[in-house]
Structure 1
Amino acid sequence: MKTALNQALACIREDVRGSQAYPVASSAGMVKLDVMENPFRLSIELQAELGARLGAVAINRYPAESTAKLAAALALHAGMPAGCAIMLGNGSDELITMLSMAVSRPGAKVLSPLPSFVMYELSARYQNLQFVGVPLRADDFELDGPAMLAAIAEHQPALVYLSFPNNPTGNLWDSAVIEQIIQAAPGLVVMDEAYQPFASSDSMALLARYPQVLVMRTMSKFGLAGVRIGYLIGQAALIAEIDKLRPPFNISVLNAEAGLFALEHADVYAAQAAELRAQRERVYTALQAMAGVQAFPSQGNMILVRVSDAARTFAGMKACGVLIKNSSTAHPLLNNCLRITIGTAEENQAMLAALKEALSRPELPCSPPGGREPEGGLGGQLKESLS
């Protein structure tokens, strides 16, 4: 049995066996602020309405018409320009995989600024593509224009990713530098707009000016992280070629119906995004006033902060029942950085209280999460800053 298993394992590529699966932290019983989810659930009335819609779906049939309807609705919602087309993915991750497959040939390269979304590199490497990472500017996480242009000239990448806003830094990069990169790139340029609902601008206008540009978005940050719907917009001829790699029926009828339902109630989700943007600014102000914390401006639903000891602070906050993301080992530029998702007012209050306690008294146990401490505790002290 053991010999047979070893033989089977030997069939798996060495680089796959030497890698690790994408980590997903357990969040049971925690204030969950680690993966940029929308914290708001639908009202009881809308939950009941959605439940009735899903109950009527013909789950005995493969998806076809429902996904076509969803694609059309998303194109309208996004303001897709004339001459463009849209394709759906099981989250942005599947779209990234298909893009890697589309350009995968001997010697082809994928380029992205770093730090950025880890799946760009992972997907490239699993398709035997060389990945080229270009560090951002250390002081403000802005694109290093000269370095990007030099890397493009040297490596001639088939695919360039620009996360807009960027994950995990949260910033919108300079539009003039972005256009320089697009003009210099010999291949596809993907504007990854996963956090567009929280940003002050987008890159949809670039589609009309540059036929090599693709805009990628997701409904996960919109408020449907559990539904897993991503979409890619670009020139119709380009999308038609990439769509050949899409697995048949990759969006379930239940997910498609949930997506349609959400777009029919887009005003509800727009109000949630507006509240999260307001909360982001309140949290940012509170973080700026906190000793020992450097907070970076954000246009996403997260804020990157730097502390003196990220591992200790992360552990201290987790002991308080607040789960954030320790990004300090993801890239040298993120040394001692933590990424904090913006939650509800109550969650943000609990987060700030836990952060303050973890920084000032790391050796002591924290008060209970969720603001359930006495009014005179840290939660009460910070209440006004988030109200």
Structure 2
Amino acid sequence: MNPLLEAALQRIRQDVQGMHAYAIQDATGLIKLDAMENPYPLPDALQHALGQRLGAVAVNRYPGPRIEDLKHALAAHVRLPEGAALMLGNGSDELISLLAMACDRPGAAILAPVPGFVMYAMSAQLQGLAFHGVPLTPDFALDEAAMLEAIARVQPAITYLAYPNNPTANCWDPAAIRRLIAAAGAVGGLVVMDEAYQPFASHTWLDEWRADPAAHGHVLVMRTLSKFGLAGVRLGYLIGAAPLVAQIDKVRPPYNVSALNAECALFALEHADVFAEQAAAIRAERERLMAALAALPGVQPFPSEANMILVRVPDAAKAFAGLRARGVLVKNVSTMHPMLANCLRLTVGTPAENEALLAALPPSL
């Protein structure tokens, strides 16, 4: 090896060198059902209108007042609770990293149920924080007793609760979540309700916040426009008590949301009815797909309130390879956690994509 390169590599943290980069599968030529994207593009007329809007953006300038316009539009879209503020991120991934940075005090830890979103643990590791994962029950429900014990013992700076959860796709018992929120607050910790898949869920935690604002001073609700239908735009947002958001916002890089991204998001919010119709179509397809999967021998779908379905099959590696060979790309999550043994995660696609999946699955098992 080049000695200069070898010396330079030694400057990279050893734990980083031992990590695996986040893997993105090559979907060329395949029906892409692996990343929980909205499968519906914008209608042609709206694509043309958006192109004209983006063509007029002053890309020679840093993002300006339109960022504030976007924050106001999002606040109206979610009916921002009284006393709350909103912070933007380059996707929710950046917000997760910024939260770890903001809470990086000696001995600080992050806690979350597992299996869950990999970025919670990764952000902790990259920031040098301890991560504590609490296993779900065998049916992927919260183990409330284990969570309460961990909160009391670890006293985490941040507790993540994904609602719905990824990759299990379920929403947990609200009564149990209320008790966990209270327990985290009792030890001075933050709770982040990750609502990345909210457009497909039957409940939002913002309703709980409005019903009992006094209990939510330490709670942040995190969302993304990726599942709304703008995965390519990379825009997330964090909602919380204004004084808390103001402190976290101090670690946000300047101009972290581009002018083009902001304009895309504003355009989408102006046409929120189109995206709401798409979400409704995805929810309807999810129920049809769930019923069809349940009828297949050897396939066990788990309840879903997201735009994905977790299924257990006899041999996940064989099924994944068989589906890929038949032109359908899904996510093999079977090695992510022991509880996910022989599980695949299937994104809910268009009716035609879902038919292709159902046709390809039995021969792949």
TM-score normalised by length of structure 2: 0.97
Q: Distance in 1 between matches of 2:99 and 2:149?
A: 23
Cα displacement (A) at 1:64: 2.0
* 2:202 counterpart letter in structure 1: S
Structure-to-structure mapping, 1:47-58, within 5 angstroms: 47-58=47-58
CA displacement 1:106-148 (0-9 Å, x = unmatched): 211100000000000000111000000000001x200000000
Cα displacement (A) at 1:279: 0.1
CA displacement 1:144-175 (0-9 Å, x = unmatched): 00000000011100100000000000000000
Q: Distance in 2 between matches of 1:231 and 1:267?
A: 20
Question: What is the aligned partner in structure 2 of residue 352 from structure 1?
Answer: 358
Q: Give unmatched runs, 5+ long, in structure 2.
A: none
Q: Distance in 2 between matches of 1:105 and 1:314?
A: 42
| 1:161–1:191 Cα contact (<8 Å) kept | yes
Q: Distance in 2 between matches of 1:251 and 1:15?
A: 29
Cα displacement (A) at 1:356: 1.3
Question: What is the aligned partner in structure 2 of residue 120 from structure 1?
Answer: 120
1:270 aligns with 2:276: yes
Q: Distance in 1 between matches of 2:170 and 2:275?
A: 22
Question: What is the aligned partner in structure 2 of residue 205 from structure 1?
Answer: 207
* 2:243 counterpart letter in structure 1: A
CA displacement 1:263-307 (0-9 Å, x = unmatched): 000000000000000000000000010000011010000000001
Q: Distance in 1 between matches of 2:207 and 2:352?
A: 37
* 1:168 counterpart letter in structure 2: P
* 1:169 counterpart letter in structure 2: T
Question: What is the aligned partner in structure 2 of residue 334 from structure 1?
Answer: 340
Q: Distance in 2 between matches of 1:155 and 1:43?
A: 49
Q: Distance in 1 between matches of 2:100 and 2:200?
A: 27
Question: What is the aligned partner in structure 2 of residue 261 from structure 1?
Answer: 267
Count of residue pairs brought into register by the alignment: 358
SS at match of 1:182: helix
Cα displacement (A) at 1:75: 1.0
Question: What is the aligned partner in structure 2 of residue 170 from structure 1?
Answer: 169
1:26 aligns with 2:26: yes
Q: Distance in 2 between matches of 1:224 and 1:357?
A: 34
Question: What is the aligned partner in structure 2 of residue 238 from structure 1?
Answer: 244
SS at match of 1:105: coil
Q: 2:196 aligns with which of 194, 198, 206?
A: 194
SS at match of 2:336: coil
Greater than 3 Å deviation, 4+ residue runs: none
Q: Distance in 2 between matches of 1:348 and 1:3?
A: 52
* 1:7 counterpart letter in structure 2: A
Question: What is the aligned partner in structure 1 of residue 108 from structure 2?
Answer: 108
Structure-to-structure mapping, 1:1-387, within 5 angstroms: 2-138=2-138, 140-185=139-184, 186=187, 187-207=189-209, 208=213, 209-359=215-365
Q: Distance in 1 between matches of 2:358 and 2:75?
A: 39
Cα displacement (A) at 1:200: 0.3
Please tell me the root mean square deviation across aligned C-alpha atoms, in Å. 0.7
Identity %: 61
| 1:328–1:334 Cα contact (<8 Å) kept | yes
* 1:38 counterpart letter in structure 2: N
CA displacement 1:5-55 (0-9 Å, x = unmatched): 111000000000011110000000000000000000011111000000000
Q: Distance in 1 between matches of 2:160 and 2:64?
A: 30
